[in-house]
Amino acid sequence: MRVGIIGGGQLARMLALAGYPLGLEFTVLDPAQDACASVLCEHICAPYDDPNALSQLAEKCDVITYEFENVSLEALEVLAETTAIRPPLTALAKSRDRLKEKTLFQELEIPTPRFLAIDSHQDLETAPKILGWPFVLKTRQFGYDGKGQHVIHHRKDMEDAWNSLQGQPLIAESFIPFQREVSIIGVRNAHGQIIFYPLSENVHKNGILHTSRCRLGDSQTRPAEVLATRLLDRLDYVGVLALELFEINGRLLANEMAPRVHNSGHWTIEGAETSQFENHLRAILDLPLGTTEAVKHTAMVNFISVLPEPTDVLELPGVHLHTYGKTERPGRKVGHATIRAADNKILDIRLHHLLALLP
């Protein structure tokens, strides 16, 4: 069977790496000549919304999935008339617009930070009155890795943010002084079966995921699963979905969801019985889902902008290095490492050594 992936970045690459042992083949659609999945997959080099390229992809593949949300919905809706696209496009339509996404959360009684649509300078003026200071101004679409968002502490920030973001549909949210960020990653198949990975605890730096740590037996696991289940069922979802949450004073507030494999689930490659990548493929191909249980205590560190010296990383016990074959560039995710240990104390020490290798 052949899987088509819209986007040929590191997520597509890791999907392919998980799929080859199952006998699957892959075609990616990506406009970049050097898309990092292209060394592993057949590559259609064309814009994401190129109708010819999309129908070529559909002809070749048994199912189409996507590795990022900024895909043209209109183009995919045409394709969906004749080809299986999973996860369903309703999930994509919600997740690619922060306002629609948060409105869906609200409908499903999934708590979120307070938010309001910002369509004019006048709306922006009312934001601090409703949300208080500080608040966060974000573009509704196309944001990732903290791009297109500003934390606004005072009037001057507000004008600066307006100058840089005006003209795009925006959303303002209250700033949450959370104790921690977590994510729950679930997988649902076409028969409605849902299983979850253990909770990930995530640390972001400058809006980009820095580390994720699998937290076995965390007391927020069940509450997070309850919230994510509402989404998975409402969307009649098939595939892997991640829900990012803030924890504040024992409560969970949903930040955003991703209808795809997620960076905070990279630890599952070596840390779980079945990785998120394999389970995503199993779900979209209607194969039995694999056990999501953790095999050890695991953490993941992202390599952003530059890769540490591979020899230094590989010297550490319990480490697994992933390089994405991407050119180093400021703010770009170029690889990650997963580190495992039999208990949390040893994991702390190993993680400390791994983090010491970062610039």
Ligand X SMILES: Nc1ncnc2c1ncn2[C@@H]1O[C@H](COP(=O)(O)OP(=O)(O)O)[C@@H](O)[C@H]1O
Using CB under 6 A, list all residues that contact ligand X: 113, 136, 143-146, 173, 175-176, 181, 204, 207, 244, 255-256
113: its two tokens = 């930070």
Provide the CB-side half-sphere exposure for 339 (13 A, CA). 25
Minimum distance of ligand X from residue 52's CB (angstroms): 30
Minimum distance of ligand X from residue 41's CB (angstroms): 25
Nearer to ligand X, 176 or 190 (CB): 176
Nearer to Mg ion, 114 or 204 (CB): 204
Nearer to ligand X, 83 or 263 (CB): 263
Q: Checking DSSP bridges between strand 42-44 and strand 180-188, what pairing results, if any?
A: unpaired
Minimum distance of ligand X from residue 161's CB (angstroms): 14
Minimum distance of Mg ion from residue 104's CB (angstroms): 16
Minimum distance of ligand X from residue 25's CB (angstroms): 31
Nearer to ligand X, 84 or 231 (CB): 231
Nearer to ligand X, 63 or 71 (CB): 71
**Chain residues 240-259 in contact with Mg ion, contact rule CB under 5 A:** 244
Provide the CB-side half-sphere exposure for 305 (13 A, CA). 8
**228 closest CA partner among 258, 249, 271:** 258
Q: Which does 218 bind (CB under 5 to 8 A by kind): ligand X, Mg ion, none?
A: none
Residues 165-202 as b/e (b if ≥16 CB within 10 A, e otherwise) read: beeeebbbbbbbebeebbbbbbbbbeeeebbbbbbbbb
184: its two tokens = 């729950």
E-strand ranges in the chain read 2-6, 25-29, 42-44, 63-66, 115-118, 135-139, 149-152, 170-174, 180-188, 194-196, 199-205, 208-215, 239-248, 251-258, 297-304, 319-323, 333-341
Report d(CA 273, CA 17) in Å as an integer: 16
Minimum distance of Mg ion from residue 353's CB (angstroms): 27
Nearer to ligand X, 44 or 136 (CB): 136
**Chain residues 207-246 in contact with Mg ion, contact rule CB under 5 A:** 244
Q: By CB under 5 A, name the binding residues for Mg ion.
A: 244
